[in-house]
């Protein structure tokens, strides 16, 4: 297999071209007879992706597994199905379900084996939430930007660690439905928390709009597809004030706004091309979008 490759979708309507790109990246070609087997993983819903993905170029088979418990995720048949795939896609839903049902199971190790063989892993919305090294799991509730900025230790903010750890997505926390749900503030708080909590010296928010995907090749080069844009939000120093019950103060977050067709190198991260926004006592210094 010619990957690994990722399709990181921001929710809403899927970007056909991004899923096709991931399939082709794994096949190593765009117009050839090589075909791959695709597995869709989800914890709710049904097989709505099957017809859609089966119609794409280079798909030999498609199977959806709806896994609603860690017990299901540890069955031999499920493990074998996932392990034999070349592309795995996590549907939208609730990322807390994925954390509870997949983390530490045979499904997790099977997905990791697909990636290790040069396969594709991707997801949208909740399926995007679990792709970064740091996962905002939403298990205690879904936090808004205003809540997160006023208290970066709000009870709705909880993270899961030691789930997937893909190359080039280290020190990354993802977010989706980004502009539509005004999530810049909470992503800034998520970034601040990783640094304050000692998880990383610097942390990067990878934030994707609806109807948008960030696709990433094996070298860490990411490209924005669909409606756009995507935002890369870097905290490269400790936040000035990040503690329970107090508004966040975090100066000079660096933001790269990448339009459709634009790229961002996650392995060799850029040092120019950004603008800065600060958080002062829970308030943003300027329009962050």
Same domain, 54 and 174: no
pLDDT at 170: 98
pLDDT in tens, 126-163: 999 999 999 999 999 999 999 999 999 999 999 999 99
Give 246-267 pLDDT, tens digit per residue: 999 999 999 999 999 999 999 9
- Domain co-membership, 125 together with 141: no
Residue at a domain's end among 131, 161, 191: 131
One domain for residues 27 and 107? yes
**Residue 129: predicted pLDDT:** 98
Question: What per-residue confidence (pLDDT) applies to 116?
Answer: 98
Domain boundary residue among 116, 131, 146? 131
* 177/280 same-domain check: yes
* Predicted local distance difference test score (pLDDT) of residue 2: 97
User: What pLDDT score was predicted for residue 279?
Assistant: 99
What was the pLDDT predicted at 235? 99
* Pair (154, 115) in one structural domain: no
Binned average pLDDT, 10 residues per bin, the chain of 289 residues: 98 98 98 97 97 98 98 98 99 98 98 99 98 98 99 99 97 98 99 99 99 99 99 99 99 99 98 98 98
Phi and psi at 185, nearest 5°, equal: -60, -40
Tell me, yes or no, whether 82 and 214 share the same domain. Answer: no
* Residue 4: domain span: 1-131
- If one counts the domains in the chain, the total is 2
Q: 0.95 cut: is pTM over it?
A: yes
Does residue 239 share a domain with residue 122? no
> Are 160 and 270 within one domain?
yes
Asked if 35 and 124 sit in the same domain, the reply is yes
């Amino acid at each position: 297999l010619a990957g690994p490759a990722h399709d990181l979708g921001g929710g809403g309507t899927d970007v056909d071209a991004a899923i096709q790109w991931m399939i082709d990246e794994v096949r190593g070609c765009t117009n050839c007879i090589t075909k791959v087997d695709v597995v869709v993983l989800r914890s709710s819903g049904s097989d709505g992706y099957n017809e859609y993905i089966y119609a794409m170029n280079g798909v030999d088979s498609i199977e959806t597994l709806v896994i609603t418990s860690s017990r299901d995720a540890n069955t031999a048949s499920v493990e074998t199905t996932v392990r034999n795939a070349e592309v795995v896609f996590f549907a939208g839903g609730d990322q807390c379900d994925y954390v509870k049902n997949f983390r530490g199971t045979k499904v997790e190790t099977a997905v990791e084996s697909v990636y290790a063989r040069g396969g594709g892993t991707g997801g949208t919305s909740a399926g995007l939430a679990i792709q970064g090294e740091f996962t905002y799991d939403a298990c205690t509730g879904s936090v808004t930007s205003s809540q997160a900025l006023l208290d970066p230790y709000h009870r709705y903010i909880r993270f899961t660690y030691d789930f997937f750890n893909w190359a080039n997505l280290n020190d990354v926390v993802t977010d989706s439905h980004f502009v539509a749900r005004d999530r810049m503030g909470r992503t800034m708080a998520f970034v601040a928390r990783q640094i304050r909590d000692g998880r990383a010296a610097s942390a990067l928010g990878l934030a994707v709009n609806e109807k948008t995907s960030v696709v990433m090749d094996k070298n860490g080069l990411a490209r924005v597809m669909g409606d756009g844009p995507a935002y890369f939000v870097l905290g490269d120093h400790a936040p000035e004030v990040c503690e329970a019950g107090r508004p966040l103060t975090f100066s000079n977050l660096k933001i790269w706004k990448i339009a459709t067709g634009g790229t961002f190198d996650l392995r060799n991260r850029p040092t120019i091309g950004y603008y800065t926004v600060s958080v002062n006592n829970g308030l943003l210094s300027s329009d962050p979008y």
